Amino acid sequence: MPKKISHSDIIGQQGINIIEEIVLEMGFLWYPSGGVEAGIDGVIEIRDSETGEVTNCIIQVQSKARQKTQLQAETETSFEYRCDERDIDYWLQGNAPVILIIIKISTKEAFWVSTKDYFRDLKRRQSKKVLFDKVRDRFDVGARLSLMHLAIPRNSGLYLAPRPKQEKLYSNLLRVSRLAEHLYTAYTITEDESKAYSILQKIGRDLGQEWLLKENFVLSFHNLREPPWTEICDPGTIEEHDVEEWSLSSRLERQQEFVWLLNKALREKVKIDLSFDPKKKCYYFKPTADKSARQYDYRSLAKKTHRDVFQRYLKKNSEEVAYYRHSAFQGQFLRIESNWFLEITPTYFFSRDGYTRDKFEQEKLSGIKRLEKNSAVFGQLVMWAEYLSTPAQGELFTPIYQFLEFDRLEEFEIDVGINDSIWLGTEDKETTEILEDNLNDLPLFRLKNEN
């Protein structure tokens, strides 16, 4: 009779090959049993991928490969595997940790469980069934840390550094790329502060509100030597200053004055599209003329997309408007060393008519914050960054705002990263699919104000 190798032997070896590939990708070593074995198909030895040092800390592996596209009692999130009682007894009596790995050959997916930990529960041992979670129990590079904890004795004192992984991190700080070159100061002609303020307000309606009045002293981005500013300013007291005298000043008073001017400039820059709510201190998209929904088109980190920035919500079982939701952000200017940044915190503004704040706004805001995930918040952040750093949509001939320009969100490259498969396992299926589409789209890092 000719020698034969069964189809099941081929499937078993295919499973072993998949395990070996994953183990080597982890930076560990794989030793197949070969020859006669009683239920252990190979051994994983933990290795320090940084130094190359091997540890003699091992995990025994029992492999079960399946060619069927559907595993036992398989759903979208789980499946079952019934173990042989003799295998369970054999796994539990030894002194080395043993893991059971189920391999789905058709998709090259693998799932694992520590048998000694799992069958410590008497009810599980009596049932002989293992219930696998397809996310939590996936055997891939993301299982590396768990295998190390399983293999290395707690009192050994052995420490293995995490594998290096370069990560790009995004902050919520939008860099200021250009400021006005000069600041102007002057004293007003009148010592009546309320009268001076009224005249300046009238001038500012047409020319801009980028000025500050303290008693009868005016500080402005506008050239006070030019009309109509000369109507209120004493010409003999007008002075021109380099903007750095305020922007880089170590004096607290000047820092506060400069931040005040920056906020005034920001409001002027966005006034075509956005309103400012002084109580909530947030900028929000204005309603459309007919109160219809408005979309804002922008480019995320990976592709072109859009967001509904103003839309109405109807009362239940009615055509009557309950409230309007506006995309919004809170902005705070920070100086870090010699650079200025706008710290952007995405939020929402709720109105009852497109203008007046809804009295139940806080409850609606709390509800939406509970529902939104990191990806949604970061999407808003990217949208606001693009809005503030590009010309208004549909306004090709609108001149570039002269006193304040933004560049981009600050991003950083670091040599230590987070293994995405570990934290993705804690998210629901819908969120996981969104995040896997662009894993770098997360705000993982935020600078502190170093002033």
pLDDT of residue 360: 87
Q: What is the mean pLDDT of the chain?
A: 85
Residue 293 binned pLDDT confidence (cut-offs 50, 70, 90) = very high
What is the distance between the terminal CA atoms of the chain, rounded to a whole angstrom? 86
Residue 408 binned pLDDT confidence (cut-offs 50, 70, 90) = confident
| pLDDT tens, residue by residue, 118-147 | 999 999 999 999 999 999 999 999 999 899
Name beta bridge partners: 409.
174
Which element (helix H / strand E) includes 149? helix 144-151
| pLDDT tens, residue by residue, 189-216 | 988 888 999 999 999 888 899 999 998 9
Distance CA 67, CA 42 (A): 20
Nearest to 413 by CA among 440, 378, 380: 440
pLDDT of residue 415: 62
Angle at 260 between CA 258 and CA 263, to 5 degrees: 110
Q: Is pLDDT larger for residue 168 or for residue 156?
A: 168
Residue 352, pLDDT > 80, answer yes
| pLDDT tens, residue by residue, 413-434 | 766 555 555 545 555 554 455 4
CATH 3.40.1350.10 residue window(s) in the chain: 7-151
Cβ atoms of 275 and 410 within 8 Å: the answer is: no
Nearest to 427 by CA among 347, 369, 372: 372
Here the tokens at position 181 are 């070159």
Angle at 282 between CA 277 and CA 286, to 5 degrees: 65
Distance CA 20, CA 14 (A): 10
CATH of 7-151, one of 3.30.56.10, 1.10.579.10, 3.40.1350.10, 3.40.50.1450: 3.40.1350.10
Distance CA 90, CA 88 (A): 5
Name beta bridge partners: 120.
none
SS3 (DSSP) at 78: strand
- When pLDDT is averaged across residues 71-98 and rounded to a whole number, the result is 91
Q: What is the DSSP letter of 232?
A: T
Residue 36 binned pLDDT confidence (cut-offs 50, 70, 90) = low
pTM of this prediction? 0.59
Among 29-33, 267-271, 273-277, 396-400, the least confident range: 396-400
pLDDT of residue 444: 39
Angle at 363 between CA 358 and CA 368, to 5 degrees: 105
Q: Is pLDDT larger for residue 408 or for residue 423?
A: 408
